[in-house]
Copies of this chain bind each other. A is one copy, B any other.
Amino acid sequence: MSGRSTKKIADPVKKQTLADFKVGVDNVIFSVDIAQNRLLVLLVMRRDEPFLGQWCLPGTLVRHGESLEDAAYRILSEKIRVNNLYLEQLYTFGGPGRDPREAPDSFGVRYLSVSYFALVRFAEAELIADGVSGIAWYPIKQVPKLGFDHNKILEYGYRRLRNKLEYSPIAFDVLPELFTLNDLYQLYTTVLGENFSDYSNFRARLLKLGFLCDTGLKISRGAGRPASLYRFDAEAFAPFKDKPLVFI
């Protein structure tokens, strides 16, 4: 308490003035490798201080005239080429001292991070290596210690991914136009774990909802009966928007 009042003498000058910020955008970019049943997250190796040479989420600072979402799309397109993706804002981390570039207890500029969460199609995603430093898909279970507070951001993004998958149709943004129910099921199990639902029940529930339409086309993958190809019908899905827990 007495420590506090000591502080109060020094504070008024500083505390009353507004902080100046640089705003960064950090992306948690997921993709699902169905073939290997792995959930992957995109990491890049820092080329600058701080945290030079350490793995981080891909991020950037926001430029003049650029919206937050624009910045998020910019980093994304600097790192990977994709046509299909889902992207949404995640959370904003902005405590003082979260970035080492902020001189401690100074009038210096603060660094705030608005994080975005993205899910991209693994098969078509093409990583853009700049030839200087690393970029890689990391299986979620093998992510190392990251720079900044990026492990926390990633954890936040992972939780969001699992929730989103349960009640919104983001899977279809990342599946090909035509897909089998097994493709869909595998995507779900890879993210949510094996025991989230039995295949037969998953199937029955989804088909009953009525926004997956059977194209009649069949695809044969090696041995076994050929699978029907389905298409996601966005119009038929419309009435389910805003309704909780559509899937699983």
- In the complex, what residues of B have CB within 8 A of residue A244's CB? 163, 166, 245
A100-116 interface with B by 8 A CB criterion? 105, 107, 109-110, 112, 114
How many positions in chain A have a CB within 8 Å of any CB in the partner chain?
A: 35
Decide: A14 near B89, CB < 8 A? Known: A19-B23, A23-B112.
Answer: no
Decide: A62 near B18, CB < 8 A? Known: A94-B68, A95-B68, A163-B244.
Answer: yes
- In the complex, what residues of B have CB within 8 A of residue A19's CB? 22-23, 62-66
Bound form: Cα–Cα A88–B97 in Å: 21
Contact B64 A17 (CB under 8 A): yes
Would you give the shortest CB distance from A3 to chain B, in whole angstroms? 15
Picked from B64, B94, B107, the residue with its CB within 8 Å of the CB of A14 is B64
Contact A91 B94 (CB under 8 A): no
Contact B18 A107 (CB under 8 A): no
- In the complex, what residues of B have CB within 8 A of residue A112's CB? 21, 23, 68, 112
Most buried by B among A17, A18, A105: A18
Does A143 belong to the interface (CB within 8 Å)?
no
Does A133 belong to the interface (CB within 8 Å)?
no
Contact A107 B15 (CB under 8 A): no
- In the complex, what residues of B have CB within 8 A of residue A245's CB? 244-245
Bound form: Cα–Cα A14–B66 in Å: 10
Does A16 belong to the interface (CB within 8 Å)?
yes
A124-181 interface with B by 8 A CB criterion? 163, 166
Contact A15 B92 (CB under 8 A): no
Does A61 belong to the interface (CB within 8 Å)?
yes
A17-40 interface with B by 8 A CB criterion? 17-23
List residues of A whose CB falls within 8 A of some B CB.
Answer: 14-23, 61-69, 89, 91-92, 94-96, 105, 107, 109-110, 112, 114, 163, 166, 244-245
